[in-house]
Structure 1
Amino acid sequence: MLVRLVQSTVEDSSFGSASNDTFDVVVQPIANVEIVGSCELQMRVATSDNSPPIRFLTLAKNAGTARIRVFVFRGGEAVAQLTVAAQVTNDGPTSSTRTQVALQAQTEREFGHGNDLTMLVLEQKTPPSYTIFLNAADASHKVNFMKFGPIPVEQNPQQLFDDFFADFEALADASTGTYSHIELHLAQRGSWLLETVFPRDLRELVWTLRTRIKTVLIQSDEPYIPWELCKLQGLEDGTIVEGPFFCEAFQLTRWMPGVPRRSVLTLDCMAVVAPVDSGLRATEEETEFLRSQNGTQRRVEGLNADYARIIRAFANAQYDGFHFAGHGAFGGSAGRSEIELDAGLCLRSTDISGSARNLGKRKPLIFLNSCQSGRAGLSLTNVGGWSAQFLRAGAGAFVGTYWSVFDDGAALFSRTFYQGLFDGLSISESTQLARAAVKATGDPSYLAYTVFAEPGATVDVINDRDAGLSNDESN
């Protein structure tokens, strides 16, 4: 496969001249193909059609369709992605396939906050493995698109992490009101997770960076690993010293590669959904805080936990914020992730399809404050679960939980998170504040949350009153 970057004849002032810039090109085999040799090369923009391309050696496995995903990075920031498909026959290669895509300019308006550290995780199916690329914005850290791996995967990751989270669920069920034993188990599992998913040289590097960086963005196309729960550790005078969890040490968020990120969110018209029969004592306090924000700057409306009303609200793109407080479950597979509604009904992640995907027109913040709403896995053809479904539909941010959280901690996390956003903090700062507030109570639920967003994304008040619901649609 040949890759060439060519300067467009139409000058893009926001992107500027790229002729002297170096780009990192990463290829990822998706189906029926493997990469022989390096999957990552550097190149400059071609100055003419005669400029040589870079060459990746690919080997098809069988006759049929082979697919490869191509990423292009500039200074560690993704600027283009495309998937190339080619037909493979037993008689030899078919005619060549030529595909082109425009580089996406990352302007200061879009990503003005910047990310101190970006971690890209790419999964390979055969042989099962993943590769980590790390890039620091500050050149003095000398972390310029460093590659770690491929790291082999020796067992079924879905089963491994199902068991991993089942342990936490059992601990929560056995709780008698004290949380210390739960956090001790979490700490041990977090140390094991770091040692398992981070190679030694990467563990050592992150330990040295822990006091020098603040914001971390993890872009991963594997659906299993709860990176937030990795517990940092280092070696000092021959002794292993444990540090904080990854999500404590840094203002950390996640994202899906290839999905456009949003640096500005709007919470001008929010929906709050809370089933009447959830039995969760703190839910009323949680939803009342949000409803108290209804006023001149934003509109906050209660939306009945009715399946048809919710689907209609998605289809009509009526909200730029959607908050659910109630029960949820992973269901054993990504396609069965669900939240409980009234009348014994439920909403599943697979319901974010068809016209319901219109919700993305307003780039909403989605917060599912329910158990296991942040879990993901493989659906029939790709990554599934709430986060993947909402982000692919166009959501600007998603917040969910890995396991069942305690009622009071969930309400406190929600209030602190939103208050931070309303006060002008970024989403990663608000998340870190919320974690700290819940941790101060002794509740380990602060570790359960996962946030998909641009770390520096903030809330901008639009005050578009005409975009809200008519009276007969609310309540």
Structure 2
Amino acid sequence: MASLPGAAYVVVVDRGQSPPRYVSIQVGLLRNALKGVADRDAADPPPGTLRDEVDLGSRAAARVVDILASDESPAPGSVVVQGRTVLGVAVSEGTSRGVPARPTPAVAVPPPSYTSNLPGGVIGTGAGFQLGPDALPVGIEWLPVPSAPQVDADLPAAEPEVDAAPGTESGTESGTESGTESGTESGTESGTESESPTGRRFRAFPDVKGPATVSSGSEFVVDVGFARQAPSAGSTPVIKPDAPETVAFDLQVDGFGFTFPAGVRQVLTVVRDDPGSHRVEFRVVAEVSESPVDRTVEVTFSLDGAVVGLAWVDLTVVPGDPQVVASVPDPEGSARVGGSAIGTAETPADLTVTIRTTQGLPEVRWQFQTPHPVELPDQQVTTSLPAAGAQAFAEQLMAQLPALKGTSMIDNALRGLGGRVAGAMPVEFWRILAAVWKLVEAQGSAVPSLMLITDEPYVPWELAWMDGDRQVPSHFVSMTPGTGGERGNQQLGAAWSIGRWLLPKEQPIGPDRPPSPPAVRMDADTMAVVVGNYDKTGIPALPAALEEAKDLASTYRALEVDVDEEHVMQLLNNRLVKDDKPFVPSIVHMAVHGKVGLSAQQYTGIVLRDKRVVDPHVIEGSALGSAAEPFVFLNACQVGQASTVLNSYGGLASAFLTSGARGFVAPLWNVDDDVAKQLSLDFYRAVLAEGVTVGEAVRRIRNRFLADPGAAPTATPMAYVFYGHPHLTLSWS
């Protein structure tokens, strides 16, 4: 904090109340409040917490504006947050008192592929953020908070450490200038708008227009573009800071029960300051239907290989004579439309694949996006996957692989099962994968990243086996780092860093669920670990799980939670207490027993000491996700396996993600107690201590399969699946 100017702000988070209080304090005032704490004699009373030393209870809480939940412009003094992450403080420019405001310095500009769904033109960078020219009313600017933006009120009252923002020489700059020592803030001139160094902000809503009713077998047109106003209550805008005068979006149309005779891809180029300046049309043919049926045409918006928006039009297909609709009808006759943010808005994966299904139908539809110059298909890509067959395959995985522990057959079984998975993927997937892999290799990166956005719950695509010169060129497989086994681990998930995410579902009010885009970074400073102590219960003991919990408690100061109803419900309802103060975990780890019933949610969940099961419905109804937005690691048997409930993605992964969790790791089948313990400890060491991304850490886990020729063969390392952005990092403090 010593390097920060006195006019900069520190946000103190008081978690002694629920919800937490956010108090913004200028650095100069905080220094004065803490003056002399470090110089106290041994005979003096020891320093209290930061709460005590700055008399936090007497300070007014700041108004909090969450940019994910509100489009309002924050008033001066408001603390601006994105979920649990503090972005900064809104301050009034005011007038300089004898000290001229310094000119706005050149700010760090995100890479061209960076887009965001944040309202108001504010772009979070982890260290600070910058403005678009029309982001806020005149006279208001953002005061960025450096890379340690929030301080817990219950820390010891030594001067809080606040590091300089990455890429700056001191803490005085973090995206924009923090201000002058006199308390005036640099930035825009009063009464005028600032120009960003490279351009102005683009902000508009994805928009699709189409007829409300079409005849079976007829051809019609959907009209696609951008709108200034939200097309539906839950719509969120696409925002690109520092946009050039024209912005080119890649559009891809899709929909069950439709064909697209002129192709599924088009480029939409719009004028930055007039987003509605240009629109494109897709020709659509409704497949024959003998009775009225409601269907949806969806359009995905991509920018620089990142999926940044989704818009759709709901319409009814009715029996009748085929006809051609030459143009879109008047708005009064148009169908219900909507739009949402989705996918990878900040740092796109090397390849993003969207996999869509409709319950009861065997058709699987595939879409592809990449920031690399790779030719993508212009026609629909579909495969057939009967739901009953996919569920049976998942059940076979859960039963067969654990039963082969210690046998030489386990390697062959995984290869055979992986071959089945690879065969269910379209040829286009493998061609695109190989083309992207080649370009990533040429750039000097050995491990590419893959984002799977899917509503298909059963198939573990990560286990797809890659035969050299069959699915991909053989040298790709041989160059994959860290592979184990006599013949090498050629699973897709052992070669690529992979993260899954769920297709968001529209909500009547508020943002879609699960929250999109998935987080790319999150601050983590607290951990709770549920301890699987089943002693004297008739449930098999988990001695290694007990050691696992103790190690996490010792290394990361994790709060241990007993696996009984009272304590687990305290965790889920955000009522944990540590040292007589509310405790909100940013990481939740469970070393317990789990079980899965693919066709019955009540048999899926976390097993308690009394043999009751905490099922997905209990988790969906809990407060933990919305209050803490945690990263969740369930080191419990089978609980990574998904299912379907009321035509939606089910299971524990869906329950945690839709309730607000920002990442989820769990195994697909029964895992060995001792192996699972070591894998989880190594995972946290890599992610929290070494700064490895979660996707890469899970890839390394998979590569432990058969890596030790002296150990009994086990499929446990291959069991883990990760839901989240493959580039997700957890910043531990």
Report the alpha carbon displacement of residue 119 of structure 1 after superposing the two structures with TM: 1.9
For 1:315, which of 546, 561, 573 is the aligned residue?
573
Secondary structure of the residue aligned to 2:518 is coil
- 1:172 is paired with a residue of what secondary structure? helix
> Paired residue for 2:408, among 170, 180, 195?
180
SS in 2 for 1:303: strand
TM superposition shift of 1:146: 7.0
Which range is displaced more, 196-205 or 85-94? 85-94
Q: Distance in 1 between matches of 2:245 and 2:605?
A: 46
The 1:381/1:300 distance shift into structure 2, 3 A limit, reads: same
- Counterparts in 2 of 1:124-143, with a 5 A limit? 124=358, 128-139=362-373, 142-143=374-375
Whether the aligned pair in 2 keeps the contact of 1:214 and 1:250 (CA below 8 Å) is yes
CA distance in 2: counterparts of 1:399 and 1:117, whole angstroms: 21
Corresponding position of 1:122:
356
For 2:675 and 2:379, how far apart are their aligned partners in 1?
38
Change in 2 beyond 3 A, CA 1:180/1:205:
farther
Q: State the Cα distance separating 1:454 from its structure 2 match.
A: 0.9
Aligned to 1:471: none
* Alignment correspondent of 1:266: 523
Query: What secondary structure is seen at the aligned counterpart in 1 of 2:246?
Result: coil
Question: Any idea what the Cα deviations from partners look like across 1:376-403, whole Å, max 9, x if unmatched?
Answer: 1211231101111211112110001111
Deviation digits for residues 428-449 of structure 1 (CA, Å, limit 9, x no counterpart): 1221233334542443211111
Q: Is the 8 A contact 1:283 1:325 kept in 2?
A: yes
**Greater mean deviation of Cα atoms: 69-78 or 214-223:** 69-78
Secondary structure, counterpart of 1:235 in structure 2 = coil
How many angstroms apart in 2 are the aligned matches of 1:7 and 1:326? 49
Q: Which residue of 1 aligns with 2:305?
A: 76
- Is 2:637 the partner of 1:371? yes
Could you tell me how far 1:131 is from its partner in structure 2?
Answer: 2.3
Question: What is the Cα deviation at residue 358 of structure 1?
Answer: 4.7
Of Structure 1 and Structure 2, the greater helix share is in 1
Would you say the 8 A contact 2:706–2:714 is kept in 1? yes
Q: Distance in 1 between matches of 2:430 and 2:343?
A: 32
Tell me if structure 2 keeps the 8 A contact 1:203–1:232.
Answer: no
Question: Match of 2:171?
Answer: none
C-alpha separation in 2, matches of 1:216 and 1:315: 34
**What code does the residue aligned with 1:191 have?**
G
More off after superposition, 69-78 vs 53-62: 53-62
Q: Distance in 2 between matches of 1:453 and 1:287?
A: 24
1:246 counterpart = 2:492: yes
Tell me, yes or no, if the aligned pair for 2:620 and 2:656 is still in contact at 8 Å.
no
8 Å CA contact 1:401–1:450 kept in 2: the answer is: yes
Please tell me whether the aligned partners of residues 28 and 39 of structure 1 are also in contact (alpha carbons under 8 angstroms).
no
The 1:119–1:287 alpha-carbon spacing in structure 2 relative to 1, beyond 3 Å, is same
Report the Cα distance in structure 1 between the residues aligned to 2:694 and 2:561, rounded to whole angstroms. Answer: 24
2:718 to 439, 447, 450: 447
Query: In structure 2, do the counterparts of structure 1 residues 79 and 136 end up closer, same or farther at CA, with 3 Å as the change threshold?
Result: closer
Q: CA deviation at 1:453?
A: 1.3
Q: Are the equivalent residues in 2 in contact too, given 1:266–1:321 (CA < 8 A)?
A: no
**For residues 225 and 132 of structure 1, what CA distance do their matches in structure 2 show?**
14
| Inter-CA distance 119–18: structure 2 relative to 1 (3 Å threshold) | farther
CA RMSD of aligned residues (A): 3.5
**Partner Cα separation in structure 1 for residue 298 and residue 623 of structure 2:** 24
Instruction: Label 1:154 to 1:457 Cα distance change in 2 as closer, same or farther (>3 A).
Output: closer
SS in 2 for 1:343: coil
Deviation at 1:330, TM superposition (A): 1.3
Q: Which amino acid aligns with 2:668?
A: Y
Identical amino acids, percent of aligned pairs: 21
**Tell me, which stretches of 5 or more residues in structure 1 are unaligned?**
464-475
Contact between 1:369 and 1:410, CA under 8 Å: does it hold in 2? yes
Say whether 1:44 aligns with 2:268: yes
* Larger Rg, first or second structure (1 or 2): 2
1:239-277 deviations in Å (ceiling 9; x for gaps): 999951011111222112333200112332211012311
The CA distance in 2 between the partners of 1:87 and 1:136, in whole Å, is 33
State the Cα distance separating 1:43 from its structure 2 match: 3.6
Counterpart code for 1:206: L
Shift of 1:369: 0.8
The CA deviation string for residues 186-228 of structure 1, in whole angstroms up to 9 with x for no partner, is 112212321x212345435535655635222222221111011
Q: State whether residues 264 and 458 of structure 1, in contact with CA within 8 Å, keep that contact through their aligned partners in structure 2.
A: yes
Give, in whole Å, the separation in 2 of the partners of 1:360 and 1:439.
Answer: 40
Relative to structure 1, is the Cα distance of residues 252 and 79 closer, same or farther in structure 2, using a 3 angstrom cutoff? same
Structure 2 residue aligned with 1:416: 682
* 1:407-462 CA distance string (max 9 Å, x none): 1221121111111111211111221233334542443211111011111111123x
2:550 to 267, 284, 288: 288
Question: Against the structure 1 CA distance between its residues 128 and 352, is the aligned structure 2 distance closer, same or farther, given a 3 Å change threshold?
Answer: same
Deviation at 1:82, TM superposition (A): 4.2
CA distance in structure 2 between the partners assigned to 1:460 and 1:26 by the alignment = 37
Secondary structure, aligned partner of 2:265 = strand
Deviation at 1:19, TM superposition (A): 3.4
Task: After superposition, give the CA deviation of every residue in 1:305-340 in whole Å (9 maximum; x if it has no partner).
Answer: 123433343333832211111211111326232121
- For 1:309, give the aligned amino acid: H
Q: Distance in 2 between matches of 1:26 and 1:353?
A: 32
C-alpha displacement of 1:75: 2.8
1:5 maps to 2:236? no
In the alignment, what sits opposite 1:346? 613
| Alignment partner of 1:232 is 2:466 | yes
TM-score by length of 2: 0.54
**Counterparts in 2 of 1:186 and 1:91: CA distance versus 1, 3 Å:** closer
Number of equivalenced pairs: 441
Task: Using the TM superposition, give the Cα deviation of residue 22 of structure 1 relative to its aligned residue in structure 2, in angstroms.
Answer: 2.9
2:407 aligned with 1:156: no
* Helix, strand or coil at the partner of 2:357: strand
**Change beyond 3 A, Cα 1:171–1:394:** closer
Task: Read off the aligned partner of 1:391 and give its amino acid letter.
Answer: L
How far residue 27 of structure 1 moved from its aligned partner, in angstroms, is 2.8
1:467 alignment counterpart: none
For structure 1, which segment, 87-96 or 46-55, has the greater mean C-alpha deviation from structure 2 after superposition? 87-96
TM-score by length of 1: 0.81
- 1:246–1:103 CA distance, 2 compared to 1 (3 A): closer
Residue 283 (structure 1) shift: 0.9
Shift of 1:362: 2.6
Between 92-101 and 303-312, report the one with greater CA deviation: 92-101
The letter for the 2-side match of 1:316 is N
